[in-house]
Amino acid sequence: MTRFAQIWRTSTVRLTATFILIFSLFAILLLAFITWQSSVQIQRQQANDIDREVRVLQRIDAVQGIRALAFALERISRAPGPGVYYLGDATGQYLLGNVTDVPPDVLIEPGIYSFDYERANPFIDPPDGADTPPRRIRTGFAVVRSVELTNGMRLVVGRDVVERQGFSAIIVQSFLFGVLGIILFSLVAGGITARRVLRRIDTIRDTSTKIMSGNLSERVPVTRRNDEFDGLATNLNAMLDRIEQLLQGLKEVTDNVAHDLKTPLTRLRNQAETALRDGASDEVRQQALETTIAESDRLIQTFNALLMIARAEAGAPSGALADVDVSAVVSDMAELYGPVAEDEGIVVETSIAEGLHLRGNRELIGQAMVNLLENAVKYAKPVGEGQGRITVGLRQQDGRALIEVADNGPGIPEADRKRVLERFVRLEKSRSEPGSGLGLSLVDAVARLHGGTFRIEDNAPGVRAVIDLPA
């Protein structure tokens, strides 16, 4: 009973039941219309046949006389079929025909009538004078037309309507059986369909239950039918992949934040303890305070970077995007970091297209350039002997603005080029170098905010960082 209630609660079964109800009502209405229309058509045809025979018999009487009429009426009276014929004299007494008893009102006043009648069955009538059992009487219900001939005789011509009623009954019976069969077939088909739907839904529910229990690697099975359930399963699996990536990234971020914050916080505590130690000189305390400020600045920079990434990933608020002269932004950043690079013995070269504009956020684009240039200055020194070189470029290609910052340093292995875009990822395992591992993550978030992409390419040697934005 519980299983039946579960199946009944499904939308498939309810829709099937609704369809069966609508179809049954339609079939009943159609049945009633067809039965009524069939009866009307048969009745109309019988009325036309009666009128035609009456006209023919009247013409025979008028042209050929009563003997020809009697001969014709006797011949058609003995023919099998639904025809009803009666010929009486001027007083209505029976002369010939296949019906011997007609109600008096039919003979008195010409017109159209219907009545019950009895007549002998022509197929089992015994020959005249034969010693056989009595004749069997055939009963029926007739629709007739009564007319008065020119010689005063009464002529009644009609049709037995029992056959017509039987035909209508056959139509009704056939349609009732048809409707019953379709209802049964619909119930079976609806049950099978609901069972298949429930099986697919149960699969999705079981998978979600396993995922909620902590097994994030579970996925909804996809069949080869390529139906709407497979489309739903594909989208759910893509969503689960994304959620698993985000949770894995969150775990890595949590671990990296704990590691990166633990070290400066420990140094802050040690410096404060040194400054508070008995006998510490003013110079030691001054140095401890300066170190505390420097470590605090690093922490503030880390949290500012996290807030800026969150802001970029959340999307720019209304009115935050405007027309930006990206050529001016790139030129200003390259000019700003030129002296810094020279102090490190690095040459900065530029190739910037003039007058290139796009719709964006000037502050975020500038911050992305700052991060790229800081990384380039940090890692542009080639391995061994050689001159460090940074190339800053801006060009337009196929309706897009390409911002490029390239160096000739040691480069990034191809396997790590996507991983370095994640938060707090640093290829320097010891983490002794300054930095938080958030710079390239911010650049990637800024590029996605502006509807573009950020990629890292091989500069042979070194790295080429490319921000691809719609211009």
Give 143-187 pLDDT, tens digit per residue: 889 998 888 889 999 988 777 667 767 777 877 787 788 778 777
Lookup: tokens for 197: 């739907």
Bond into 127 cis (ω within 30): no
Q: Where are the alpha helices (DSSP H) in 66-111?
A: 66-78, 104-108
Q: Which two tokens stand for residue 328?
A: 């001016």
Spell out the CATH class of 322-470. Answer: alpha beta
pLDDT of residue 100: 84
- The CATH number corresponding to 219-314 among 1.10.287, 3.30.2320, 3.40.50, 1.10.30 equals 1.10.287
pLDDT band at 404 (very low <50, low <70, confident <90, very high): very high
- Rounded distance, CA 393 to CA 353, Å? 8
Q: Where are the domains of the chain?
A: 1-216, 219-314, 322-470
pLDDT at residue 141 above 80? yes
83-88, strands of its sheet edge to edge: 94-97, 83-88, 154-160, 137-148, 111-120
Name residue, tokens 């007609």. Answer: 102
Q: 346-352 and 154-160: which strand pairing?
A: unpaired
**What does the pLDDT look like over 316-335, one tens digit per residue?**
554 567 888 999 999 998 89
**What is the separation of C-alpha 58 from the centre of its chain, rounded to a whole number of angstroms?**
73
Looking at per-residue pLDDT, the higher value among 311 and 342 belongs to: 342
Q: What is the pLDDT of residues 98-128, one digit of tens each?
A: 888 888 888 888 898 888 887 655 555 555 5
| Residue with the larger pLDDT of the pair 2 and 221 | 221
Angle, vertex CA 345, rays to CA 339 and CA 346, nearest 5? 75
pLDDT tens column, 410-441: 888 877 777 777 766 665 544 445 555 677 88
Let me know: does 207 contact 219? Beta carbons within 8 Å. Answer: yes
The answer to whether the predicted template modeling score (pTM) of the entire model surpasses 0.85 is: no
